[in-house]
Amino acid sequence: PAGSGLLGARASLEDIKLLPQRKALNAQLREETVAWLKARGFTCTVSQSNCFMIDVNQPAEQVIEKLAAQGVMIGRVWKSWPQWVRVTVGNKREMERFREVFAAQVQRSV
């Protein structure tokens, strides 16, 4: 219905604890995922935002395609970083699925 988005936005603004809680959860999920990747030998960028980059040591396009084939959509490729992929932090379930598919589809090559 018209206006329901506005009501939701107003309710969110009224809950001043919501934004800090969401930022904290986002940071926790990001750090857990980066630690998981590093434990598997991958290099990641340091991040304070809702995304980070992973050096996949292979053409990034191939990794993006492998994950997409499993229903996990990650970011685009930058010409200057052809072996890095961008990952936007999702919710807990989405990040669990990312790790599951990444582990199955991406082996660290040297």
Would you call 23 helix, strand, or coil by DSSP?
helix
What does CATH list as the number for 4-105?
3.90.1150.10
CA dist 60 and 63 (Å) reads 5
39 pLDDT above the threshold of 80: yes
- Give the pLDDT score at 23: 86
88 pLDDT above the threshold of 90: yes
Contact (CB, 8 A) for 83 and 59: yes
Residue ranges of domains in the chain? 4-105
Alpha carbons within 13 A on the beta-carbon side of 31: 7
Class of residue 79 by CB neighbours under 10 A (exposed 0-12, middle 13-18, buried 19+): exposed
Token duo for residue 83: 């072996």
- Give the pLDDT score at 82: 96
